[in-house]
Copies of this chain bind each other. A is one copy, B any other.
Amino acid sequence: MSTESGIVKFAILGTARIATKVGKAIHTVEGAELELIASRRLRNAQAWQAEHGANNAVEGYESALSHPDVQAVYIPLPPSMHKEWTIKAAEAGKHVLCEKPPALNSAEVEEMLAACRANGVQFIDGTMWSHTPRAQDMKAILTGGQLGKLRRVVSAFSIQMPDTPEQHRYIAELGGGALYDIGWYCVRAALWAFDSVPTHVFASATYHRGVDNNATAIMWFEDNRTATFDCGYDLTRRKWLEVVGESGNLVCDDFLSPWDLTKQRFWTHDNQGVATEHQSQSVVQEASMIESMVNIIRTKELNTYWPQIALDNQRVIDALILAAKEGVKVEVK
């Protein structure tokens, strides 16, 4: 067994573009190995293997799950397929790294997490930035008290996403939509900063081909805390975060992936606007996420933070999608 050698062997289910980045990261992480790439068609898997490297290329995701040496799978499939393949992976005894959103709604996520628990495997969703040293450095400041009581989180994630036929993000049945896909990160930032789940949310969205392509959201947390964000497929690229306390704030202008890998920065400002620049270790965030999984598997102690925050994140997204459709403030279930 690979655990004996200390090497954690991964399989990737599908050759989506994001799989390439994560595959490359697996190659760089000490203690991780890319055992196989699986695709519905063998020649796609083989082409990927030839280009990006993997010990094996197999046809069909089932083949990946039945491979005895594979300990963890990375699932970059469209959201509509996450539940099925997460549960199958868990039942095959594989730890699961699943792209976000983990599913189409929180009921699905609960089923997935139950399967993981029942089979003693870890679940982590693909919110890469939250695994980085920079996220840890920012969190240390947020909890350190220098900003005073944290009361507000403001964030934005927008990109220009052309509507092309192969783009699952514009296909409702596959789990498309800006809230699911990129609003996800803004919700995570608020959950992470406040260590709390909002009680109520409001959202407003515009729609394209039946999926939300731009949204504005407000989230109310207990103890007089509020978060707002906007996300969209139709604006210039933005990916910033502000966490606001009673006596200072923290700003990161690229929280969900650094503009420049060599400058993984953020800033704090005091009440007079005096800025302090903080620079964190330069890492590839896909590798940070893989390291998290490797460490959990090596220590053989399942982590409860990652599945819980994945579920909470999905619960909030569910509420936001409903709020946007209804145009009213809704409770987070």
Option from B156, B160, B272, B327 in Cβ contact (under 8 Å) with A246: B160
The yes or no answer to A266 lying at the interface (CB within 8 A) is no
A147 touching B236 by the CB < 8 A rule? yes
Take A156-B154, A160-B271, A273-B253 as given contacts and tell me if A236 and B230 are in contact as well, using a CB distance cutoff of 8 Å.
no
B151 touching A272 by the CB < 8 A rule? no
A273 touching B248 by the CB < 8 A rule? no
B230 touching A228 by the CB < 8 A rule? yes
Option from B151, B202, B216, B236 in Cβ contact (under 8 Å) with A226: B216
Take A206-B224, A218-B218, A259-B272 as given contacts and tell me if A148 and B329 are in contact as well, using a CB distance cutoff of 8 Å.
no
The yes or no answer to A235 lying at the interface (CB within 8 A) is yes
CB-CB contacts below 8 Å: A129-168 with B = 147-148, 151-152, 154, 156, 158, 160
Binds B, one of A116-124, A180-188, A237-245: A237-245
With a cutoff of 8 Å between Cβ atoms, the chain B residues found around residue A271 in the complex are 160, 236-237
Measured in the bound complex, the distance between the Cα atoms of B213 and A204 in whole Å is 24
Give A220's nearest chain B residue, CB to CB: B204
| Closest-CB distance, A244 to chain B (whole angstroms) | 5
B228 touching A236 by the CB < 8 A rule? no
Q: How large is the interface on A (under 10, 10 to 19, 20 to 34, 35 or more residues)?
A: 35 or more
With a cutoff of 8 Å between Cβ atoms, the chain B residues found around residue A281 in the complex are none
With a cutoff of 8 Å between Cβ atoms, the chain B residues found around residue A154 in the complex are 154, 156, 230
With a cutoff of 8 Å between Cβ atoms, the chain B residues found around residue A246 in the complex are 160, 234-236
Measured in the bound complex, the distance between the Cα atoms of B216 and A273 in whole Å is 21
Measured in the bound complex, the distance between the Cα atoms of B329 and A244 in whole Å is 26
| Closest-CB distance, A190 to chain B (whole angstroms) | 13
A329 touching B329 by the CB < 8 A rule? no
Measured in the bound complex, the distance between the Cα atoms of B272 and A253 in whole Å is 12
B249 touching A245 by the CB < 8 A rule? no
Give A229's nearest chain B residue, CB to CB: B228
The yes or no answer to A262 lying at the interface (CB within 8 A) is no
Chain A residues with a Cβ under 8 A of chain B:
147-148, 151-152, 154, 156, 158, 160, 202, 204, 206, 214, 216, 218, 220, 224, 226, 228, 230, 234-238, 242, 244-249, 253-254, 259, 269-273, 327-329
10 more CB-based (< 8 A) A-B contacts, given A158-B244, A236-B247, A259-B272: A160-B271, A202-B204, A206-B224, A216-B218, A218-B218, A236-B246, A237-B271, A254-B273, A259-B273, A328-B328
Provide a sorted-by-A list of 8 A–B residue pairs whose CB atoms are within 8 angstroms.
A151-B234, A151-B235, A160-B247, A206-B224, A216-B228, A236-B245, A238-B249, A328-B328
Q: Across chains A and B, which 8 residue pairs bring their CB atoms closest together, nearest first?
A: A259-B273, A236-B271, A236-B248, A237-B271, A236-B247, A235-B244, A216-B226, A236-B249
